[in-house]
A and B are shown apart, each in its own frame.
Chain A
Amino acid sequence: MDDMEDDTVLAECIRGGDAACFEQLVRTHGGRMLATARKFMRHEADARDCVQEAFLSAFKNAHRFEGRSRLGTWLHRIVVNAALARLRSARRRPEISVEDLEPSFDGLGSRIDPRFESAPRPEKILETDEMIARVHACLEALPDTYREIILLRDLEGFDTAETAGLLGVELATVKTRLHRARAALKTLLEHSDLEHTS
């Protein structure tokens, strides 16, 4: 039996109310789903709640799994949706202005701001754990709208169409927000490198 057939059998088993099957699902996929939830949630407790919500949703909606994708892919999307829903319902925190982090151009469209010519570059972040921590610290500083886009496109690997579907926005909106978010992240990483090397 290949992997897709295994997934279909497992989904059938869960639809049938088999508790052992469901436990197998949780133990097999829970680790990766928790890793995903942690990228979106600021606190471990929220990430775990997110995963729990996702598995309950999977249990209630097992009849919707049609076997066209891997079960892990289906669960990944469920936990991402759960995380996005939690982010939207959370109380808004004071946000920095992303405009302050974007490049500047003069009246003729030429790039200005000499600091971009002298700032250290993000590739100087070498140690993996330090890199992950610094990327997340910079992402934390972004407004939620832009943070979500980078999480979905660059950290989770969804393409533009999938991201648009998850966020309920147009493709052009995803592209514009992504561009601004990446520009802001670049600036924040450069500033964080300056703080660490000065």
Chain B
Amino acid sequence: MKVLMLVPRWMRRWMVRLMPGMPTCEQVDSYLDDYLDGELPDGQRRQFERHLRMCTPCQRYLHGYSQAVRVAREAGRDEVRNALGPPPEELVQSILIARAQASDDC
């Protein structure tokens, strides 16, 4: 891996294109979610990781993509944590009134 980093980036990109069996960046892009979820079959995962070792743009992209997913999930969890109090009393009363009216209508 360290030896590969001595190879100029433009050359590494051509190596990625020319290596037999190496998926393209576009193919790797289509596997991103399965890879992040640990659902890629072993053979595909090895190819995916082999491409990543060679391709700096895909490394950076994967990092940014996985971080975007992480912050979205954290935003969802934090919102729930921040909202563990009771609902506003005004809303509670509105719901109870609506429920009583619905009961009357039945």
Contacts and interface: CB of A to CB of B under 8 A. Distances in A.
Contacts of A105: 24-26, 29
Interface string B54-81: 0111101101110111111111101110
Contacts, number: 155
Which secondary structure dominates where chain A touches chain B? helix
Contacts of A123: 67, 70-71
B91 to A, nearest CB: 5
Contact of A186 (B57, B64, B74, B79): B64
A110 B16 contact: yes
B71 A128 contact: no
Given A52-B94, A117-B57, A183 B87 contact: no
A136 B17 contact: no
Interface stretch (A55-63, A81-89, A90-98, A165-173): A55-63
A51 B87 contact: yes
A98 to B, nearest CB: 14
Interface residues of A, number: 55
B29 A103 contact: yes
B11 interface: no
A4 B60 CA distance: 46
A59 B106 CA distance: 12
B40 interface: no
Nearest to A54: B95
A159 B9 CA distance: 38
B57 A116 contact: yes
A110 B17 contact: yes
B100 interface: yes
Contacts of B91: 30, 34, 48, 51-52
B96 to A, nearest CB: 6
A55 B93 CA distance: 12
B45 interface: no
Interface of A: 17, 19, 22-23, 26-27, 30-36, 38-39, 48, 51-52, 55-56, 59-60, 103, 105, 108-111, 116-117, 119, 121-123, 125, 128, 131-132, 135-136, 139, 150, 154-157, 175, 178-179, 182-183, 185-186, 189-190
10 contacts: A23-B92, A32-B83, A35-B82, A103-B29, A105-B24, A108-B17, A110-B17, A132-B79, A154-B76, A155-B72
Which 9 pairs between the two chains have the least Cβ-Cβ distance? A109-B24, A30-B87, A155-B76, A35-B83, A111-B25, A186-B68, A109-B26, A135-B75, A154-B72
